């Protein structure tokens, strides 16, 4: 019994202990708050770090607004812990390593302090990567450094001003320009920009370009300047400009008279004051050569040389009336004299320009053999043109065009032999016609290509009978592109030059992932989208040309050029951005990856909020002005770069990409093994492609070295302000675009943002041309559950179903602006007319002291009286004596039954109606008049009672209708006594 009781006692104790243990166990999902608590207890961070929130994954990641908390309060909190931090190891983002000690960074970071958290068998790099991906911000290491200090640490010169500087040579001309008068060879083709002009029916320029990259490996970002331009969604990602092929006849220069230029009005006045005959143009030959940046001086043995492709033309000299001067020379003399008479500036050239057509710049061929083959094919086409036009041909077209396009220009007949004023290369503002029409011979040749038989000339011309030798196209020098000499630093590319493509890539491409930074302001085109409101880059622009004289390309300030800039640069909208990862061509058949596949991969990348922090402004080795951002290897941007390299980088150095979709490209300009730690900056090894920069301008030409130094100093002073404003970086965005900040964008080219991706797998949307609908690349939901499945939320079918517009909205939009305005105008007129009618009615019928609102409700609820029928006044004459013909109007409005059975009642009603009609003025004044009342005899009383019984229904209805109006409370008087009617009536 004792043993049994002891056993039961032990069981009870064990049971109680189990229940007690169960009661005190606290179950909790794993999070990283322990790291915050440990670092806070160890003194590595203060309670204001990350706003005091536990770091529990991406749902707690800080946003743009978190960087605007009180900096002074944070500084005070750090000052109170200064003594505690002096004896403890600082956190990794608080370390300040000199450039020569970065090699020991990982060893120092790997040491675990006594109060720190164990890394759970993770390498220091893996541990810091996971931790840094949770941090709210970036760039903690160099918070106390100025822009000038960082410029030196990054290995750049931001102080001396030793940059390419160009003085115009004319003391009166302080600013160069690009405006000119010339001849246009623009064509509109099926493969080109649909908005290109058709101004040249004589030379099919598309026959001398290589759109299929059979001979050409790469070009600058503008691509072919002739042959129709580029579409927006071209596989090459070139700038979607219209055809801008032309030859200059006279360089006008800048358009600002205060800096030695000539205004547009002066140019127009000079051109209208002179006359000229149609000039004939003769094609001479096509050549290559010209200097660019890569391999031109054989300083890079593995690099392919780059140059320009140019078509040389000439103006045919014709002489009239035994004149010793040709018509073209006479035109130039008259033009210079006219420009002088209108006060043309000294920046205008003193002589005419050698006629030529710039076809492309920064061109790289696959090899010298490919260059020779291209030159032969192109010049064989030129030989055909020479056979067709042995004496040249006036350039023109039989179509219509508007100058300028889209800004008030009216379409007009183009004609032949015109000269044009080019404000910039792609913007014709005025056409000037010759003083005479074409002769029969000129007209035949001008219309030969469009109306004649040209196959004869192509079959006859089988050889080239002119010399077209030029730079590197005559066999004197051989070269060949070595794709396996490609290196990871190729991503640090000069966009005014061609790419060196990696293996198995057959076409270049400008598509890339990056961070959009453009915004709209008064000095930029209104088509610019606003992607951020944290940085105003207008402070980095020299609008009044205090420091910058001109630019080395046709592009001016890339962060937004003025519509009427005096330099004559191409009027681009703001294209500010930070390129992160160049994906190359979107032509899958040439080794690239399609846009839809890029979007699919990017949607699966779980990246954190992208923080950026300006570092300094400098001029790089290619002469371009750039804004450098801090290349923090521990930032979310660096993590994104690593991920894109792992998933989309090319196979290189025994590293291959991998992703869940199994979709890859051979044309990305980044290696699969490249990492952010190999990029630029003092913390990195400077051997990779990670280097966040933004180009401000291509090849700005400063007035002198002092001006260059002053410009850099001014810009970096403002960069220091930004660095103090955002000490831990900022996630850019606006209230309408990426409100949480830190979004990633897919760029078709430098101008066009196509798709935007939110951090933390927050979704994606199309941003092309201000649109907001996802692209159509999936025909139907691909997950079970249809459109209710979250995986299918961005499919085109589901988006159309979810955002289907209302029929009323569709109908309203279908009206257009004119129809909508018309409908609104009609509604406005109807409302005002109704109000006017109501006010007029109220003034007439409302009671004394009654408000308009009271009258409105009373008039709304009153019983409507029947409509009266109009009768001829002649029929109302009495055919009987007055005592027998008087009838009441109200009796006539009663039923026919009343009129037939109660003659006396009608008489009485008639007398009442007549009295009311004759005494309307007296009734309105509410005046009463005594009426004598006489007693009736018995017979009269009996007859009166019978008539009243028979006509009771009509009398009641008549009375109701008489008293239904608002002001029908009048006292009527009886008819005057004429002696024939002895009855009297009581009123």
Q: What is the mean pLDDT of the chain?
A: 75
Specify the higher pLDDT residue, 959 or 175.
Answer: 175
**Structural domain contains residue 445:** yes
**Structural domain contains residue 21:** no
- Examine the domain organization and report whether 714 and 785 are in the same domain: no
- Examine the domain organization and report whether 783 and 817 are in the same domain: no
For residue 833, which phi and psi values (nearest 5 degrees)? Answer: -65, -40
- Examine the domain organization and report whether 454 and 313 are in the same domain: yes
Alpha carbon distance, N-terminus to C-terminus of the chain: 123
**Structural domain contains residue 915:** yes
Other CB atoms within a 10 A radius of the CB of residue 268 amount to 15
Structure-block tokens of residue 651? 């196979």
What confidence score (pLDDT) does residue 48 get? 47
Mean of the pLDDT values across residues 719-735?
93
Burial class (CB in 10 A: 0-12, 13-18, 19+), 849: exposed
In this predicted structure, the answer to whether residue 59 has a pLDDT above a threshold of 80 is no
pLDDT tens for each residue of 918-953: 444 444 444 444 545 455 554 555 455 555 554 554
What confidence score (pLDDT) does residue 863 get? 64
What is the side-by-side strand order in the sheet with 393-394?
216-218, 356-365, 307-315, 280-289, 393-394
- Examine the domain organization and report whether 903 and 937 are in the same domain: yes
- Examine the domain organization and report whether 679 and 615 are in the same domain: yes
**Structural domain contains residue 596:** yes
In three-state secondary structure terms, 626 is strand
**Structural domain contains residue 924:** yes
For helices 852-861 and 807-845, the axis angle rounded to 10 degrees is: 100
pLDDT tens for each residue of 537-548: 988 988 888 898
Domain boundary among 772, 792, 823: 772
Going by pLDDT thresholds of 50, 70 and 90, the confidence category of residue 51 is: very low
Specify the higher pLDDT residue, 333 or 175.
Answer: 333
What confidence score (pLDDT) does residue 880 get? 54
- Examine the domain organization and report whether 340 and 263 are in the same domain: yes
- Examine the domain organization and report whether 580 and 594 are in the same domain: yes
Q: Which of 330-344, 380-394, 422-436, 838-852 has the highest mean pLDDT?
A: 380-394
Quickly list H helices, 190-323.
264-272
Distance, CA of 618 to CA of 154 (rounded, Å): 11
Domain boundary among 772, 793, 818: 772
Residue linked to tokens 């990633």: 744
What confidence score (pLDDT) does residue 593 get? 95
What confidence score (pLDDT) does residue 82 get? 53
Q: Where are the beta strands (DSSP E) in 817-883?
A: none
pLDDT tens for each residue of 630-649: 999 999 999 999 999 999 99
pLDDT tens for each residue of 164-198: 544 444 556 777 778 899 999 999 999 899 989 99
Q: How far, rounded to the nearest angstrom, does the alpha carbon of residue 635 sit from its chain's CA centroid?
A: 28
Distance, CA of 204 to CA of 393 (rounded, Å): 13
**Domain of 823?**
806-843
In this predicted structure, the answer to whether residue 367 has a pLDDT above a threshold of 90 is yes
pLDDT tens for each residue of 139-162: 888 988 999 999 999 998 887 766
In this predicted structure, the answer to whether residue 832 has a pLDDT above a threshold of 50 is yes
What confidence score (pLDDT) does residue 742 get? 93
Structure-block tokens of residue 721? 């302000």
Specify the higher pLDDT residue, 98 or 349.
Answer: 349
- Examine the domain organization and report whether 695 and 641 are in the same domain: yes
- Examine the domain organization and report whether 679 and 814 are in the same domain: no
Q: Give how many domains the chain has, as a whole number.
A: 6
**Structural domain contains residue 788:** yes
pLDDT tens for each residue of 730-746: 999 998 889 889 999 99
pLDDT tens for each residue of 254-290: 888 887 888 889 999 999 999 999 999 999 999 987 6
Q: 501, 481 in Cβ contact below 8 A?
A: yes
Specify the higher pLDDT residue, 313 or 80.
Answer: 313
- Examine the domain organization and report whether 326 and 252 are in the same domain: yes
What confidence score (pLDDT) does residue 783 get? 67
Of the given ranges (111-120, 239-248, 933-942), which has the lowest mean pLDDT? 111-120
**Structural domain contains residue 881:** no
- Examine the domain organization and report whether 251 and 370 are in the same domain: yes
- Examine the domain organization and report whether 763 and 783 are in the same domain: no
Nearest Cα to 691, choosing from 620, 607, 606, 755? Answer: 620
What confidence score (pLDDT) does residue 476 get? 59
**Structural domain contains residue 857:** no
Pairing of strands 419-424, 427-432: antiparallel
Domain boundary among 772, 796, 821: 772
Structure-block tokens of residue 211? 């759109």
Is the pTM higher than 0.75? The answer reads: no
């Amino acid at each position: 019994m004792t043993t049994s009781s002891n056993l039961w006692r032990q069981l009870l104790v064990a049971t109680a202990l189990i229940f007690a243990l169960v009661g005190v166990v606290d179950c909790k999902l794993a999070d990283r708050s322990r790291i915050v608590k440990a670092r806070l207890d160890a003194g590595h961070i203060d309670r204001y770090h990350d706003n005091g929130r536990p770091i529990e994954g991406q749902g707690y990641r800080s946003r743009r607004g978190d960087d605007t908390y009180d900096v002074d309060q944070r500084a005070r909190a750090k000052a109170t812990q200064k003594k505690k931090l002096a004896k403890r190891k600082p956190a990794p983002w608080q370390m300040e390593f000199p450039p020569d000690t970065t090699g020991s960074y990982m060893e120092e970071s790997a040491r675990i302090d006594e109060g720190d958290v164990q890394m759970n068998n993770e390498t220091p790099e893996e541990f810091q990567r996971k931790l840094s991906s949770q941090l709210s911000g970036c760039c903690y290491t160099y918070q106390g450094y100025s822009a000038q200090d960082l410029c030196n640490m990054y290995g750049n010169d931001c102080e001396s001003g030793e940059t390419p500087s160009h003085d115009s040579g004319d003391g009166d001309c302080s600013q160069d320009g690009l405006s000119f008068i010339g001849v246009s060879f623009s064509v509109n083709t099926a493969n080109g920009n649909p908005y290109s002009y058709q101004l040249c029916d004589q030379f099919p320029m598309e026959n001398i370009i290589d759109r299929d990259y059979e001979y050409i490996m790469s070009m600058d970002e503008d691509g072919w300047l002739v042959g129709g331009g580029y579409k927006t969604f071209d596989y090459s990602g070139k700038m979607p400009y219209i055809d801008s092929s032309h030859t200059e006849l006279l360089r006008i220069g800048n358009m600002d008279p205060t800096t030695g230029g000539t205004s547009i009005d002066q140019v127009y006045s000079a051109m209208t004051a002179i006359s000229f005959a149609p000039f004939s143009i003769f094609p001479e030959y096509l050549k290559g050569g010209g200097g660019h940046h890569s391999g031109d001086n054989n300083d890079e043995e593995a690099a392919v040389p780059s140059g320009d492709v140019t078509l040389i033309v000439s103006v045919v000299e014709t002489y009239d009336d035994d004149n010793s001067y040709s018509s073209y020379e006479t035109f130039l003399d008259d033009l210079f004299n006219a420009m002088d008479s209108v006060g043309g500036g000294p920046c205008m050239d003193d002589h005419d320009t050698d006629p030529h057509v710039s076809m492309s710049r920064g061109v790289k061929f696959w090899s010298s053999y490919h260059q020779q083959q291209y030159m032969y094919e192109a010049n064989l086409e030129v030989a055909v043109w020479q056979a067709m036009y042995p004496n040249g041909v006036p350039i023109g077209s039989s179509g219509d065009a508007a100058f300028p396009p889209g800004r008030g220009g009216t379409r007009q007949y183009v004609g032949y032999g015109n000269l044009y004023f080019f404000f910039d290369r792609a913007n014709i503002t005025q056409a000037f016609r010759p003083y005479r029409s074409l002769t029969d011979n000129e007209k035949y040749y001008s219309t030969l290509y469009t109306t004649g038989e040209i196959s004869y000339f192509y079959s006859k011309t089988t050889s080239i009978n002119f010399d077209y030798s030029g730079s590197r196209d005559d066999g004197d020098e051989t070269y060949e592109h070595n794709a396996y000499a490609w290196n990871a630093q190729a991503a640090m590319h000069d966009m005014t030059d061609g790419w060196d493509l990696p293996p198995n890539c057959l076409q270049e491409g400008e598509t890339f992932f990056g961070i959009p930074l453009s915004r709209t302001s008064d000095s930029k085109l209104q088509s610019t989208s606003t992607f951020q409101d944290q940085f105003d880059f207008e402070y980095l622009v020299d609008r009044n040309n205090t420091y910058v004289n001109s630019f080395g390309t046709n592009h001016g300030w890339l962060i937004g050029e003025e519509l009427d800039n005096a330099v004559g640069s191409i009027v681009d909208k703001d294209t500010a951005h930070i390129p992160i990862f160049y994906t190359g061509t979107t032509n899958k058949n040439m080794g690239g990856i399609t846009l839809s596949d890029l979007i699919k991969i990017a949607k699966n990348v779980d990246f954190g909020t992208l923080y950026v922090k300006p570092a300094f402004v400098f001029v790089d080795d290619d002469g371009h002005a750039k804004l450098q951002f801090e290349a923090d290897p521990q930032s979310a941007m660096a993590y994104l770069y690593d991920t894109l390299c792992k998933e989309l980088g090319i196979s290189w150095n025994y590293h291959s990409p991998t992703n869940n979709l199994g979709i890859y490209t051979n044309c990305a300009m980044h290696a699969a093994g490249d990492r952010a730690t190999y990029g630029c900056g003092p913390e990195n090894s400077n051997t990779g492609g990670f280097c966040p920069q933004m180009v401000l301008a291509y090849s700005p030409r400063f007035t002198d070295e002092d001006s260059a130094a002053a410009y850099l100093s001014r810009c970096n002073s403002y960069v220091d302000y930004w660095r103090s404003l955002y000490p831990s970086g900022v996630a850019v965005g606006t209230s309408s675009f990426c409100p949480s900040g830190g979004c990633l964008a897919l760029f078709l080219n430098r101008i066009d943002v196509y798709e935007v991706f939110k951090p933390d797998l927050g979704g994606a949307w199309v941003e092309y041309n201000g649109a907001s609908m996802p692209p159509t690349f999936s025909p139907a939901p691909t997950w079970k559950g249809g459109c209710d499945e979250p995986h299918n939320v961005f499919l085109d079918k589901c988006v159309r179903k979810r955002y289907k517009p209302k029929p009323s909205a569709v109908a309203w939009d279908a009206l257009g602006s004119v129809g909508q305005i018309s409908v609104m105008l009609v509604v406005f007129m109807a409302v005002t007319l109704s109000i006017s009618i109501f006010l007029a009615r109220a003034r007439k019928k409302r009671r004394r002291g009654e408000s308009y609102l009271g009258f409105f409700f009373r008039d709304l609820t009153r019983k409507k009286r029947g409509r009266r029928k109009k009768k001829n006044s002649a029929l109302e004459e009495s055919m009987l004596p007055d005592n027998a013909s008087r009838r009441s109007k109200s009796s006539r409005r009663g039923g026919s039954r009343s009129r037939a059975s109660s003659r006396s009642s009608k008489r009485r009603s008639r007398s009442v109606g007549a009295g009311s009609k004759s005494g309307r003025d007296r009734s309105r004044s509410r005046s009463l008049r005594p009426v004598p009342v006489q007693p009736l005899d018995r017979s009269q009383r009996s007859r009166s009672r019978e008539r009243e019984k028979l006509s009771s229904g009509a009398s009641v209805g008549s009375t109701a209708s008489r008293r239904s109006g608002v002001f029908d409370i009048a006292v009527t008087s009886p008819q005057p006594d004429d002696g024939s009617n002895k009855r009297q009536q009581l009123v």
